[in-house]
């Protein structure tokens, strides 16, 4: 295992003080370096094969620049020693243009030992391959991409895992940049927002890539709509907000956590599913087994079978859920000896947490 880096305290060198006044990234310099590809549904800013989606309400040009500049200042303020290894884990990294400018500014600030871990479900089936290749060429080394946070957290590295090595190598920075938003995509179902749950996940076939299971329930006459929702999620062209949805995940103690809509129907769905969840927990306890998503899947399957006589229909599927991914990444990097920072850019708002 790689030993932890002990933070050094004391006055900064003259060179480090100079770097602390790093000129910020500006709109003028970025416009000179990129171009905007306008489309009917989305605008995409490009530089070579690198790109980001630009939306005035969700992720504007000025918003992204402000995020990058604030992030660099935040890193300098919390990790002043420039020889500290940095591991940046970017969730939903997509076309990697934001990451390119972050890497550029970090290097200008004096950081040289930079490792990138990019995670995006769209990297399945060689998605964004040209973007990933160009980013790797520009960064030169220490770049790996994954289709889910599960694939990253479970990646073996000698006697341990890559994620454990990253945690103990030096400082870690988890990035959540422009996550799925109903303002950016279309909604596949409409309802009173206060009664609904926003689904930010993509179906996956391999359970090893999944971190949650979605259960969707509707009147039998609405079964086609449930299938349509699954298709929209798979295509990644819609954000879904709906009632009649329940999300099951496993926490770090292998206990099932259930998230459901706040409406009366959502609470009823949770109440009806609860006995099936309690049963698999009892079986796991009695047999000494660790609860897995496969067990939850079987329980939800039995629940769906019970809907026939109630005039209801249901579907379930494995997903890589965005919010669960961010939570799992933060849990992994917290409580270590090295600095772990969390930076988010969502709906043009910037936030940082240690």
Determine how many CB atoms are found less than 10 A away from the CB of residue 308. 11
Quick one: what percent of the chain has pLDDT higher than 70?
Answer: 90
- Of 59-63, 279-283, 341-345, the range with the lowest mean pLDDT is 279-283
pLDDT of residue 57: 87
**Cα-based angle 48, 343, 176 (whole degrees, multiple of 5):** 55
Nearest to 99 by CA among 128, 78, 56: 128
Q: Which architecture characterizes domain 14-181+326-353 according to CATH?
A: 3-Layer(aba) Sandwich (3.40)
Q: Is the pLDDT reported for residue 339 higher than 70?
A: yes
Strands 340-346 and 171-177: parallel
pLDDT band of 237, cuts 50, 70, 90 = low
C-alpha torsion 59→247→89→143, nearest 10: -100
pLDDT band of 190, cuts 50, 70, 90 = very low
Local structure of residue 112 (DSSP, 8 states): -
User: Which tens digit of pLDDT belongs to each residue from 116-166?
Assistant: 999 999 998 889 999 999 999 988 778 999 999 999 999 998 899 999 999
| CATH 3.40.50 segments of the chain | 14-181+326-353
pLDDT band of 36, cuts 50, 70, 90 = very high
**Helix, strand, coil proportions of the chain in percent (round to 5)?**
40, 25, 30
Q: How big is the chain, counted in residues?
A: 354
pLDDT band of 88, cuts 50, 70, 90 = very high
pTM of structure: 0.86
């Amino acid at each position: 295992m790689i030993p932890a880096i002990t933070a050094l305290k004391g006055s900064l060198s003259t060179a480090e003080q100079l770097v602390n006044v790093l000129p910020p990234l500006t709109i003028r310099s970025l416009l000179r370096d990129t171009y905007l590809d306008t489309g009917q549904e989305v605008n995409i800013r490009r530089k070579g094969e690198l790109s980001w989606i630009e939306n005035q309400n969700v992720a504007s040009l000025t918003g992204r620049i402000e995020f990058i500049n604030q992030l660099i200042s935040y890193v300098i303020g919390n990790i002043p020693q420039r020889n500290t290894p940095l591991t940046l884990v970017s969730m939903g990294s997509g076309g990697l243009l934001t990451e390119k400018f972050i890497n550029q500014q970090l290097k200008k600030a004096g950081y040289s030992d930079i490792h990138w871990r990019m995670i995006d479900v769209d990297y399945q089936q060689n998605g964004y391959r040209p973007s990933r290749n160009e980013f790797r060429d520009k960064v030169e080394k220490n770049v790996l991409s994954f289709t889910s946070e599960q694939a990253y957290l479970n990646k073996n590295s000698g006697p341990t895992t890559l994620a454990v090595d990253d945690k103990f190598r030096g400082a870690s920075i988890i990035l959540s940049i422009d996550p799925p938003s109903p303002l950016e995509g279309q909604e596949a179902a409409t309802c009173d927002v206060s009664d609904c749950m926003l689904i930010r996940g993509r179906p996956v076939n391999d359970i090893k890539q999944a971190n949650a299971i979605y259960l969707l329930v509707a009147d039998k006459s609405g079964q086609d709509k449930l299938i349509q929702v699954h298709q929209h999620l798979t295509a990644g062209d819609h954000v879904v907000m709906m009632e009649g949805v329940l999300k099951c995940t496993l926490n770090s103690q292998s206990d099932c956590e259930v998230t459901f809509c706040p409406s009366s129907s959502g609470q009823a769905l949770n109440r009806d599913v609860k006995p099936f969840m309690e049963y698999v927990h009892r079986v796991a306890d009695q047999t000494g087994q660790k609860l897995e998503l496969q067990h939850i899947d079987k329980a939800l399957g039995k629940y769906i079978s019970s809907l026939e006589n109630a005039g209801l229909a249901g579907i379930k599927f494995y997903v890589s859920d965005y919010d669960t991914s961010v939570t799992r990444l933060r849990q992994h990097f917290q409580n270590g000896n090295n600095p772990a920072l969390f930076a988010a850019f969502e709906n043009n708002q910037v936030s940082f947490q240690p």
